[in-house]
Structure 1
Amino acid sequence: MASTSSFDIVSDFDRQEMVNTVDQALREIKSRYDLKDTKSTLELQENAILVNTDSEFALEAIHTILRTKAAKRNLSQKIFDYGKVESASGSRLRQEITLKQGISQDLAKKISKLVRDEFKKVQASIQGDVVRVSSKSKDDLQNVMQRLKQEDFPLALQFTNYR
């Protein structure tokens, strides 16, 4: 009897790479001539980055720096969820950039339905914020991975626990 193979679909990022990204971005902000006197700050929290700066121009420059540093460290741009720009004390601007992790129930259902509809010999089950895909054929599982990579989901998806 053939054994069953499976893999998990998750949406996560490497926390240490994010720490390094914010650290590098902060160093570049401190050294760039156009941002040096803005007293801009980046603060990495548990699941968000707080940006504090003095102008809309500086905020856009910080976004660009942050996205560039994240891309160099193989972090997806889809993990950033830019919040509303608020005014802070001293005519400064503050923005919270939420870091998206985990697959929502709605998206998990959509992924599961896509797998079930297009691949008849493959099972997909939702386990919290993870979708487990299993099949007797490893080729089918690899076809599922290729198909999911073609879809443009609002999250960065990774495939783990392939066995």
Structure 2
Amino acid sequence: MLLRNLALSLVLLSATTVMAAAQTAAVGFGQGDFDRSAPVEVAADSLEVDQATGRATLTGNVVIAQGDLRLSADIVTVDYSTGGGDRQIERLNASGNVLIVAGEDAAEGQDAVYTLASSDILLTGDVVVTQAGSVLAGDRLSINLASGAGTVTGRVRTTLQP
């Protein structure tokens, strides 16, 4: 009886470990040679600027490009920081039909936050990553553009080819 309970415990422990591991997947994204000093080009149907808060809101067919990185969304708010007396883009907050393309890699979701200083992007909401014909889906994608490292978390789904 003790041996049977021990065996059952080991099976349950290993199943729990496999399920936890299946909820996270490491991915490469982009080439890892991203130039965060490249100029940021912006196109949108409309722009509203609030000088008091240091925030700009872009709406309608928003496309933002920096080097080989492209971000498109329905709405993007741009947060600025004041460094040395100059305003610089600190963060881009994208929402609605977000698409991020870096080189041959693409990811889509509902919301994204791109922190320019660290080159980090957090994409959330039914995330789908497409790379070289492979598709990986999950709840969140965290990317560091400088290293090209990414992690998909939360109910990760993919099809593995033998």
TM bucket normalised to smaller? under 0.3
Report 1 or 2 for greater relative contact order, CA contacts < 8 Å, sequence distance ≥ 6: 1
- Going by fraction, where is helix more abundant, 1 or 2? 1
Alignment TM-score, normalising by the size of structure 2: 0.24
Q: In proportion to residue count, which structure has more strand?
A: 2
Q: TM-score, normalised by structure 1?
A: 0.24
